[in-house]
A and B are shown apart, each in its own frame.
Chain A
Amino acid sequence: AQKITQTQPGMFVQEKEAVTLDCTYDTSDQSYGLFWYKQPSSGEMIFLIYQGSYDEQNATEGRYSLNFQKARKSANLVISASQLGDSAMYFCAMREAEGDMRFGAGTRLTVKP
């Protein structure tokens, strides 16, 4: 069974608007971590934001915030004030207690001018 599900293969957003990229996860662990990475067309993987399962506050990093709803097992990424340079693939990932990391299939975000 998929541990990380990203249901949006592709998303479009107008420049300067906000966009939410969905991510749901499946785990029976109490302790886990959730990550979002960006992969531009150059192929590099860029860490964006992290949320620990015991963190009570939603994580924020600049224009990125993570909408963490533990009971629903969702960890959506919100990008505010989209920029053309935000166009990329976005991957949600989960690290469970034993340490391995599982990635979702990704969402391709296109920011339109």
Chain B
Amino acid sequence: GAGVSQSPSNKVTEKGKDVELRCDPISGHTALYWYRQRLGQGLEFLIYFQGNSAPDKSGLPSDRFSAERTGESVSTLTIQRTQQEDSAVYLCASSPGINYEQYFGPGTRLTVT
């Protein structure tokens, strides 16, 4: 079946612009995670959705970052007024629940010029 998909695969934007990154999780997966991975570094947790519960936003680095999820489907991560330090690969993952492994998408490579 289809895995986690993310779009766009690459995004180049000018400093100060807003960007929206999209994640389509595996159907039926109730949990959805967003991570940021800077070049050569590990994964930085951003936000987590589980079913209809309020999302865990504890990892969002600033108020320029926000995310939404429609039910148990698509999620969008929005970065407002992008800065050069936002340049990274943004990874989305979904899982059947919090006690299961996560399935990762291919990521969106964001470059802020």
Which applies to chain B's interface (DSSP): helix, strand, loop or mixed? strand
The digit string for A101-113, where 1 denotes a CB below 8 A from any CB of B, is 1111110000000
Which applies to chain A's interface (DSSP): helix, strand, loop or mixed? strand
Q: Interface residues of B, CB < 8 Å — how many?
A: 25
Are B101 and A101 in contact (CB-based, < 8 A)?
no
Q: Across the interface, which residues of A come within 8 angstroms of B93, CB to CB?
A: 45
Q: Across the interface, which residues of B come within 8 angstroms of A47, CB to CB?
A: 101-103
Tell me the B18-74 residues at the A interface (CB within 8 Å).
31, 33, 35, 41-45, 48, 50, 56, 58-59
Q: What's the interface size class on A, roughly? A: 20 to 34
Are A99 and B103 in contact (CB-based, < 8 A)?
no
Are A104 and B102 in contact (CB-based, < 8 A)?
no
Chain A: minimal CB distance from B90 (Å): 12
Q: Across the interface, which residues of B come within 8 angstroms of A93, CB to CB?
A: 43
Give the distance in Å from the alpha carbon of A106 to the alpha carbon of B100 in the complex: 21
Tell me the A22-80 residues at the B interface (CB within 8 Å).
33, 35, 37, 43-45, 47, 50, 52
Q: Which residues of B are in contact with A by a Cβ distance under 8 Å?
A: 31, 33, 35, 41-45, 48, 50, 56, 58-59, 89, 91, 93, 98-104, 106-107
